A and B are shown apart, each in its own frame.
Chain A
């Protein structure tokens, strides 16, 4: 099977362009030579992405961006997933999506151009120890322009120049996004060790000053989160495509019993089923990307993420199996994609979380018929 580029022409162009750059700076052998397994922030890559305009791809032109439609950003993130671009990319993009939806012109001007130019890294403090993706359950509070609470599994908190903290305003109980400088007083960051060997931390906020407060219109917040979820699905599927390609190369070239192992029906049927699942997941992601151009699309987003999680997991498991020992030794590098998959599966909602959301969303429609 040829690596299938996204259907529409302009997205194909995005993917070809991004792949050209990323293949030069993110080769697996380079990743594998790094003690952090090549998965934390990479300044050289960052500069290259900024100079080529990728960091501002979707941002408005007056913020230093190219104002590309959302689906092109999705196409770019497929390539980012394929090349195992560090999670600082999605962190900064998630932050930017929140700013774009919720901030006034001045605040947008303050952050977006600097993120597009690569000089500024940002992250989002979302999950709390007792709740994730359940905004109404968050307990972190904003009082007198300071933030107090505990955020967990904050991606790239240690690298970020600014944190967008999802919190509740003291008096009004209204959901807000407070921008906090992680270096300011009252912020304590404690790094976790994760299967993805990325950077995720427990962030304790104790009267940390908020440098800005964004009052969250719920639809804007939902749209930003759903777009970020779709981008995470895109990264998973870009990685899954690559893992499938690696596996196809292996089963074509690995000979046992006098023939390529890819000639055995057991292997062919396994891969045919996975290709079918991958194709289906990609269609869901394309539809979600299209829908999210216009506004929130909860159902499309949940379907896309649920299936991206599912097929990426299955592909990683099958790929390790078919690669045998060669996929299991670190030297081969396959594990770099496997461990990222396990982290990305949890991020922005596990399969179970999204299946539950789908059930909640479709039940009203079902009861009407």
Chain B
């Protein structure tokens, strides 16, 4: 395993930093503070358009689809630098859905959609979960029934983040028998402007909007199917595996810890500088070490992907570590700030620019989303340690 950037990676890191220095404006950071990072605000959209213009939406894609053919380690560098700086993340449309479409999409859908994904014109919302199918996704019930050259889709999806400003859904539906579980699921691309789609907001404790989406006899062309009929599970797994590099990176937490360190160097608890408090120092060092592990795990995962491996177990460990650290570090940072630690990020006097308070409220979603940490532990135990199911 390499522990340092090679020359190409070092050049790339400088380019990413230079881009951020130029384009990550105070106005954008202020907007993101209000919208919590991903609400399609005007400054955010302008910034993302700049990212797309660099060609970075197709960072790891093959050149025949407009990609730059960068390595996973270079993607990791971009994500870590963006996260550390507080920039909006690359959309899952290009980190996860695009690469899956490249493998499973029909020639026509690739021709139509991939260039528009790279340009940023086309954005997707995942529509997987249902009220009764969350962790157990294979029990989903939204149905698609064939009718001539079309499919008719009916059902209810929840936790569809971005559904209120996306152009398309990446939709998992049941095409097999009700008991067919993962063998009877198909994947469709569904334009959001079709008749019969109803999007309504679900507001969360983290102040982030997600959505309920009802599909009421929505008719889509048979050409919108991705992969085979009843072959959707494979697409879902592939899309998840492409998320591995981006899930569980530690850039935002390193930034939080650095901010806490700076704060501790100018904050007194009565007459003692916080940075000199023995308990503070020990806990800080503990988190510093944990975040170094998280960073190294990310690096190992990316290098394994570049070596053609599928680092499933390692990625699961990383996801557990980073998401649980977010709860621990943000709660500790709030407590370390005393009574001021309870200030909402909307209060200008909030320490750390309110990031600890908000990241604490954001953390639950990271622990249960993207495959709950219990499912990740099952993967570590069963696939990693070979324990029986």
Which residue numbers of A lie inside 8 Å of B, CB to CB?
A: 127, 130-132, 134, 137, 152-153, 192-197, 200, 255-257, 261, 264, 266-267, 313, 317, 320-321, 324-325, 327-331, 334-335, 338-339, 342-343, 345-347, 350-352, 356
B244 to chain A, nearest CB (A): 22
Check if B331 is an interface residue, CB within 8 A of chain A: yes
Bound Cα distance from A153 to B205, whole angstroms: 23
Cα distance, A261 to B372, chains bound together (Å):
12
Q: Which residue of A lies closest to B347 (CB)?
A: A193
- Contact partner, B203, options A200, A255, A330, A345, Cβ 8 Å: A330
Minimum CB distance partner of B337 in chain A: A346
Residue of A nearest to B132 (CB): A255
Q: Contacts A131-B270, A320-B364, A321-B367: A330 and B204 contacting too (C-beta < 8 A)?
A: yes
A329 touching B202 by the CB < 8 A rule?
Answer: yes
Does the CB pair A195–B343 fall under 8 Å? yes
Q: Give every chain B residue within 8 A of A152 (Cβ-Cβ).
A: 339
Q: Give B166-188 as 1s and 0s: 1 = Cβ < 8 Å from A's Cβ atoms.
A: 00000000000000000000000
- Which residues from chain A contact B268 at a C-beta distance below 8 Å? 130
Check if B15 is an interface residue, CB within 8 A of chain A: no
Q: Which residues of the other chain, B, contact A313 by a CB distance below 8 angstroms?
A: 331
With both beta carbons as reference points, the residue of chain B lying nearest to A259 in the complex is identified as B136
The complex places the Cα of A131 from the Cα of B270 at a distance, in Å, of 5
Which single residue of chain B is at the shortest CB-CB distance from A256? B136
- Residues in B with CB closer than 8 Å to A127 are 339
Q: Are B357 and A329 in contact (CB under 8 A)?
A: no
Assess whether B10 is interfacial by the CB under 8 Å rule: no
Additional A-B contacts beyond A194-B347, A329-B204 (14; CB < 8 A): A137-B270, A153-B342, A256-B133, A317-B364, A320-B364, A320-B367, A329-B205, A329-B210, A331-B202, A334-B205, A338-B205, A347-B339, A350-B338, A356-B279
State the CA gap A266–B374 with chains docked (Å). Answer: 7
Contacting pair A342 B203 (CB below 8 A)? no
Chain B residues with Cβ below 8 Å from A192 are 343, 347, 349
Residues in B126-149 with C-beta less than 8 Å from chain A: 129, 132-136, 139
Given known pairs A195-B343, A346-B339, A350-B335, the reply for A328 and B364 (CB within 8 Å) is: yes
Cα–Cα, bound, A338→B360 (Å)? 11
Give Cα A346 to B334, complex, Å.
Answer: 9
Across the interface, do A130 and B270 meet the contact criterion of CB distance under 8 Å? yes
Tell me whether A132 and B339 are in contact in the complex, defined as CB-CB below 8 angstroms, given that A192-B349, A325-B158, A329-B202 are known contacts. Answer: yes
User: Is B365 part of the contact surface with A, judged by Cβ < 8 Å?
Assistant: yes
| Residue B346 CB within 8 A of the other chain | yes
The CA-CA distance from A343 to B349 in the complex, in Å, is 16
Write the chain B residue with the least CB distance to A342.
B342
Report the Cα distance A131→B202, complex, angstroms.
40
